[in-house]
Chain A
Amino acid sequence: AQRVTQPEKLLSVFKGAPVELKCNYSYSGSPELFWYVQYSRQRLQLLLRHISRESIKGFTADLNKGETSFHLKKPFAQEEDSAMYYCALSGGYNKLIFGAGTRLAVHP
């Protein structure tokens, strides 16, 4: 079964601290994975996709097929990073299977 698991509902850190939001997936085949973000009072939007191997707003995510993980990392959190983060897996036709989300709270 295709599934995305985000084990933490809430991650609370101080400004300047490193951040790692965990994501594990279950998928038979070559997965396409994404991180979506929803800032307060804004719509859900794409943060990054694994195939691009890019850094967006200082965030990176590496696909680890052995551990079936796609954790999102940032070395120094900023207050403006506070948001809801969703890991998602593509199930074809870009049909997204989302995790339940992790709320990141960055405190001053």
Chain B
Amino acid sequence: DAMVIQNPRYQVTQFGKPVTLSCSQTLNHNVMYWYQQKSSQAPKLLFHYYDKDFNNEADTPDNFQSRRPNTSFCFLDIRSPGLGDAAMYLCATSSQGTASTDTQYFGPGTRLTVL
């Protein structure tokens, strides 16, 4: 009964070759987030969707894009992966995005390797 599912769990891509990571949820939550976590570092928010409204973090590179075609699915597209984009990518959801009452539910992550 996984609630936030990420596919694939491991992704290998070549330098410069576009790659898409997938996240789905069975919680019917309004908010979906993508975090990047490099080795031994804190998870860092890339962007989030509140329903269909896309919110990009100011320091997220243009190389990273996202799509949310419906409530359940959210995709992370990396247009031209560089070696520095190798990381664990975490998807998370929350019901309303209100910190005091909400809980963020995380997926297991997708580990991206760039060759």
Contact = CB atoms under 8 A, between A and B. Distances in A.
Q: Are A and B interaction partners?
A: yes
Given A90-B99, A93-B97, A98 B90 contact: no
Given A94-B31, A94-B94, A44 B99 contact: no
Interface of A: 4, 9, 32, 43-46, 49, 51, 86, 90, 92-101
A92 B96 CA distance: 11
A100 B42 contact: yes
B82 interface: no
Interface string B84-102: 0000001010100111101
6 contacts: A32-B99, A43-B4, A46-B104, A94-B94, A96-B35, A98-B44
A94 B92 CA distance: 11
A98 B108 CA distance: 17
Contact of A86 (B42, B94, B109): B42
B111 interface: no
B42 A98 contact: yes
A32 B107 CA distance: 22
Contact of B99 (A4, A43, A86, A94): A94
Contacts of B26: none
B45 A51 contact: no
B70 interface: no
B108 A46 contact: no
Nearest to A41: B108
Contacts of B99: 32, 49, 90, 92-94
Nearest to B3: A43
Contact of B106 (A43, A92, A100): A43
Closest 7 CB pairs of A and B: A90-B99, A98-B42, A93-B97, A44-B106, A32-B99, A94-B99, A100-B42
B42 A95 contact: no
Nearest to B41: A100
Interface string B14-47: 0000000000000000010101000011111100
A52 B94 CA distance: 17
